[in-house]
Amino acid sequence: MATNIKSRLYPLDRIRNIGIIAHIDAGKTTTTERILYYTGKTYKLGNIDEGTTVTDWMAQEKERGITIVSAAVTTFWTPTTGPYKDIESRINIIDTPGHVDFTAEVERSLRVLDGGVTVLDAEEGVQSQSETVWRQADKYKVPRLCFINKMDKLGADYFATLKSIRERLGAPAYPYNLPLGKENEFRGVIDLLSEKAYEWADDATGMKFSQAPIPDEDKANVKKYRHELVEKIAENDDVLLEKYLKGEELKIDEVKKALRKAVIDYKIVPVLAGSSLRNKGVQPLLDAIVEYLPSPLDITQIEGVNPKNNEKEVRKQDIDAPFCGLAFKIQIDPHVGKLTYVRVYSGTLKSGMSTLNATKRDRERIGRILLMYANTREEIPEAYAGEIIAVIGLKNTQTGDTLCSEGAPITLESISFPEPVIAMAIEPNTKADQEKLGYALNRLSEEDPTFRIKSDSETGQTIISGMGELHLEILVDRMKREFAVGAKVGSPQVAYKETIAKEATGEGKYIKQSGGRGQYGHCFLRVEPLPRGEGFQFKSEIRGGAIPSEFIPSIEKGVKEKMEMGVLAGYPMVDMKVAVYDGTYHDVDSSDIAFKIAGSIGFEEAVKKANLTLLEPIMKVEVTIPEEFMGDVIGDLSSKRAQILSSDHRANSVIITALVPLAEMSGYVTTLRSMTQGRGSTYMEPSHYQEVPQNITEKIVAKAKGETKDS
């Protein structure tokens, strides 16, 4: 393996920070492996089945053949044609997971990337997770290319996949190259702008390819799609449009320059074809990454907020500007400890430098700076604007925190993560495991913002929650392997939440007199429901000093603690606004603890009058089955309180999309296989929370109260 990463100042226009994003099994990791091979980063083609890939380096990834954590690698590519001919560019690649349980990895990667490559399966087309990652990329306005992979697969259909990109993703997708043959006849691609065909015929590694004549049967399609692409490019450039309308010939270099601008402005998404596993079509993808995806210079400035005055602040992506960067990932490394991945947006970061964590208002000293190559690394003295690096030595920095120069503070937009939907109890095997468990859980929750830990005050158990069964399974496995913790885990439980349906008020009074100084806290609270997903808001409406201002945070603390414990069935409470509007205090006996308890009592009284309801996670479920089983599967889903959204026919299969409560989906994979003679497959991702029907709520509440009595 080559490890000599060029740690020198690279011109910003020659840096590409890109992510490979897609549905599970579309071929992201294989595509990344081929990119590393053709750019000379590796000397051997990595294979997922053999566990020899660079970016899937964790033991669990090798065993399961899936990506779990996003891996960053740096490589270099010199295009042989076009405006960037013979100019070496540095490409920082992040290979992201495809499984929805690890959606946090995709979210935080997209937040710091300049461009993306969406990989699609030529037979399956746009799948559920493809839609999810596409929407995540839309949220962060990431320009992207589409790579239709697996063109050699039985049932591969380039044009059907192109149609699904346009229809399901609503993307302005236009073919940039067309496949030369398909299925076992797939041998290369036809470049539409140059009207040249390239064949990968003799070389098994795919390193060598040659120009070939365009087959007669493809000429009509080449003419049609080239005309469509050039017309769309010209539409987005006034100078080209004038020439185009006059019928003048457009030079390829000026067309490519206009296409680059259109891609960066998300007016065009170029679509390329290939087969990463069969080593065909990857080099044109690399050329397109360099030619069309943005460099840090194309996103000239980033916006943030000045923490001193909360006013909007703009920072230029320039090495001469004051330093600022975003910590987007924490990784616990067994050799060097805590690694913090940072995207440097402006200025220069040097080892030993003192910086400000603007999010925490805390000083942090930069220890060592590393260039990452998956799980291997090279130490460098400094990093510049546009680079993605890892830092050792940061103590209090977490995912989403902004690091900046102390003299020029700025807070960048943080990263939002979805709420966990499933929970399980975990208990250490021995007293020695008890201490190790706490350490391991804290370390893993530092790494993963969607992994939550809480203690159940009733049972004394530790409850861990995450994005799905696989997510928790992997984390428990890591706990045992990496931290040597022996622990027993309970069966997965649905992460219900509680909320209110109407406005109500409550009074909280806590008076304790037992000789000496007493305790006195008294407040009136109002609770109001908020729309789904709005979280929690607390407001003080105290006028005239009815309660001194120093006790207001104590009331809020009491409310929050009660919300965490739940009132109806012991589940956390969400989506409500709480206002303290009146109360009384005692000059001597009032204290923080008294008002905290009063806040908790008043809140409980108010919510009990506010129509308490349970919320449950609803999953978006996609089931792919042979046509003959469609009736049985839809009937079974309907019995699980499913709302059927659509059923799409593709080749001999039917794809059923439905919204189903997570509580009904336990063991569904086994049920589906037995119903479809082992030929059905399913995919599930969190969609939203909604109210649980009254009859089911009653059962859950009765069960929760019964368990509390038993314990």
| Residue ranges per structural domain of the chain | 12-298, 302-412, 422-491, 498-610, 616-695
Q: Which positions ≥6 away from 196 have C-beta within 8 Å?
A: 190, 211, 214
Q: How far is CA 525 from the centre of its chain?
A: 38
Tell me what the mean pLDDT of segment 680-706 comes to: 84
Please give, one letter per residue, the 3-state secondary structure of 156-180: CCHHHHHHHHHHHCCCCEEECEEEE
CA distance 550 to 700: 39
Q: Is the pLDDT of residue 380 over 60?
A: yes
Burial of residue 379 (CB within 10 Å: 0-12, 13-18, 19+) is exposed
Secondary structure class of 80 (helix, strand, coil): coil
Q: Compute the average pLDDT of residues 313-339.
A: 82
**pLDDT attached to residue 459:** 61
pLDDT at 95: 66
What confidence tier does 172 reach under pLDDT thresholds 50, 70, 90? very high
pLDDT band at 711 (very low <50, low <70, confident <90, very high): very low
CATH topology of domain 12-298: Rossmann fold (3.40.50)
Summarize the confidence of residues 554-580 as an average pLDDT.
93
What would the mean pLDDT of 630-639 be, rounded to a whole number? 91
β-strand pairing of 115-121 with 15-22: parallel
At residue 710, does pLDDT exceed 60?
A: no
User: Is the model's pLDDT at 547 over the cut of 90?
Assistant: yes
Q: Is the pLDDT of residue 596 over 80?
A: yes
pLDDT digits (tens, 9 = 90+) for 479-527: 887 788 888 888 788 889 999 999 999 999 999 877 667 899 999 999 9
Mean pLDDT of the chain: 83
User: What is the phi/psi pair of residue 227, to 5°?
Assistant: -60, -45
Tell me which of 84 and 176 has the higher pLDDT. 176
Q: Would you give the DSSP letter of residue 482?
A: H
Residue 693 pLDDT > 80, yes or no? Answer: yes
Query: Tell me, what's the pLDDT at 609?
Result: 95
Select the CATH number that applies to the domain covering 302-412 from these four: 2.40.30.10, 2.60.40.1180, 3.30.750.24, 3.30.43.10. 2.40.30.10
pLDDT over 50 at 68, yes or no: no
Sign for the CA dihedral angle at 29, 124, 676, 100 comes to positive
Q: What percent of the chain has pLDDT over 70?
A: 89
Mean pLDDT of 452-468: 76
User: Are the C-beta atoms of residues 21 and 32 closer than 8 Å to each other?
Assistant: no
What phi and psi values does residue 101 have, to the nearest 5 degrees?
-60, -20
Q: How big, in percent rounded to 5, are the helix, strand and coil portions of the chain?
A: 30, 35, 35
Strand intervals (E) in 438-575: 452-455, 462-466, 487-489, 493-494, 497-500, 504-512, 519-529, 536-540
pLDDT of residue 465 exceeding 80? yes
**Binding site feature residues:** 22-29, 95-99, 149-152
Residue 3's pLDDT is what? 39
Give buried/exposed letters for 445-461 (b at 16+ CB in 10 A, else e): bbbbbbbbeeeeeeeee
Give the pLDDT score at 376: 66
CA distance 410 to 21: 30
pTM above 0.75, yes or no: no
Of 29-33, 145-149, 645-649, the least confident: 29-33
The DSSP letter of residue 572 is: P
Q: What is the DSSP letter of 317?
A: S
Q: In the predicted model, what is the mean pLDDT of residues 189-194?
A: 91
Q: Tell whether the model's pLDDT for residue 104 goes beyond 70.
A: no
| pLDDT given for residue 637 in this prediction | 92
Pairing of strands 269-273, 643-650: unpaired
Q: Is the pLDDT of residue 1 over 50?
A: no
Query: In which band, very low, low, confident or very high, does the pLDDT at 581 lie, cut at 50, 70 and 90?
Result: very high
* Rounded-to-integer distance, Cα 654 and Cα 413, Å: 41
* Least confident window among 142-156, 335-349, 491-505, 561-575: 335-349
Question: What does the DSSP 8-state code read for residue 445?
Answer: H
**DSSP per-residue codes, 27-51:** SHHHHHHHHHHHTTS-SS---TTTT
pLDDT given for residue 7 in this prediction: 43
Mean pLDDT lowest among 111-115, 222-226, 642-646? 111-115
Give me the pLDDT at residue 155, please: 85
Q: Over 90: is that where the pLDDT of 624 sits?
A: no
Q: Which residue has the higher pLDDT, 697 or 130?
A: 697
Question: CA–CA separation, 8 vs 374, rounded Å?
Answer: 19
Residue 199's SS3 state is strand
Residue 64 has pLDDT above 50, yes or no: no
Residue 70 has pLDDT above 60, yes or no: no
Q: How far is CA 489 from CA 476, 570, 706, in A?
A: 8, 20, 21
Highest mean pLDDT among 165-179, 202-216, 364-378, 464-478: 165-179
* Tokens matching residue 678: 């082992």
Strand partners, 603: none
Structure confidence at residue 55 as a pLDDT band (50, 70, 90): very low
Q: E strands within 78-222?
A: 89-95, 115-121, 144-149, 173-175, 177-180, 188-191, 196-199, 210-212
Residue 206 has pLDDT above 90, yes or no: no
Residue of higher predicted confidence among 101 and 546: 546
Of residues 43 and 368, the one with the higher pLDDT is 368
Q: Is the pLDDT of residue 44 over 70?
A: no
The rounded percent of the chain whose pLDDT value lies above 90 is: 28
Q: What is the pLDDT, as a whole number, of residue 500?
A: 95
Q: Give the lowest-confidence range in 103-117, 376-390, 397-411, 609-623.
A: 103-117
Instruction: Point out the annotated binding site for GTP.
Output: 22-29, 95-99, 149-152
- What CATH number labels 498-610? 3.30.230.10
- What's the one-letter identity of residue 451? F
Domains 498-610 and 616-695 share a fold: no
What pLDDT is recorded for position 43? 52
d(CA 189, CA 197): 6
Tell me the CATH class for 616-695: alpha beta
Q: Residue 116 — φ and ψ, nearest 5°?
A: -140, 155
Tokens for 420, please give them.
């966990």
- Fold topology of 422-491: Alpha-Beta Plaits (3.30.70)
Question: What pLDDT score does 71 carry?
Answer: 59
Residue 334 is predicted with a pLDDT of: 67
Per-residue pLDDT reduced to its tens digit, 265-287: 999 999 999 998 888 888 999 99
Which of 575 and 435 is assigned the larger pLDDT? Answer: 575
Q: How far apart are CA 93 and CA 272, in angstroms?
A: 18
**Distance (Å, rounded) from C-alpha 283 to C-alpha 80?**
10
Lowest mean pLDDT among 130-134, 353-357, 693-697: 130-134
Structure confidence at residue 60 as a pLDDT band (50, 70, 90): very low
When pLDDT is cut at 50, 70 and 90, the band that residue 703 belongs to is confident
